[in-house]
Amino acid sequence: MFSLKDRVALVTGASQGIGRATALALAEAGAKVGAAARNAEKLAAVVAEIAAAGREAIAVRMDVADADEIKAAFKQVLERFGRLDILVNNAGIARDALALRMKPDDWEVVLRTNLTGAHLCIQQALAMMVRQRYGRIINLTSVVAQTGNAGQANYIAAKAGLIGLTKAIAVEVASRNITVNAVAPGFIATPMTDPLPQKVKDEMIARIPLGRMGTDRDVAAAIVFLASEEAGYITGHVLDVNGGMYMA
């Protein structure tokens, strides 16, 4: 495991799935972790698990669709740890529907949460990282942002937007020793995919050359790498973690 000793990380959407696995993996690598999400009870369980392993973490209640909550959360992390080195923009929601039938509110809330929320978190992180002349920003996009998928125009627009945002910010802050990258998971076994019928899962797996769905740990490992010193010459990149289902 790459060492993140003395680094401070903030992970959004850390209460379950990929976010939870990422918070645990960053802590395992030595980072102090701010675990952020809307569900305080689940966050407390994640922080307790990190503490039980002898690592340090705090639960930060935050809805990334709320600019004021974002500012308060970053302030809380700064007050506790004194700095921020790693930001993982993982929080996201889905409101699926065919484009012809998609309600304006479902379009707006997905873009506000999945794309605007990430942008606002990046702004808060850069305020600290630019002064430090060091930082790692990792945005969670998706394989469907690269391939397209029916019934997810809002979700895909947001996730594709994250790829563009990643590249734009990477250029802006490279001179400050801040890297900005994206991770694009494929079909991952998480609480979001667990309710899917087995027939649907089998159809997904048939499209994956490695013949299985990914795990949240597969994605977390990629994030830890991009957060590490060893990835210091990688920026503006989209790292695919999809079992080979999309090969550009």
Positions marked catalytic: 155
Q: What is the CA radius of gyration of the chain?
A: 17
224-227 contacts, C-beta under 8 A, 24 or more apart: 224/1, 224/2, 224/4, 224/22, 224/25, 224/26, 224/29, 225/2, 226/136, 226/138, 226/179, 226/181, 226/183, 227/2, 227/4, 227/7, 227/9, 227/26, 227/29, 227/31, 227/86, 227/88, 227/136, 227/138
Task: Give CA–CA dist 234/186, Å, rounded.
Answer: 21
**Closest to 14 in 3D by CA, of 193, 190, 240:** 190
Between the CA of residue 84 and those of 8, 172, 178, 188, what are the distances in Å?
Answer: 5, 19, 12, 28
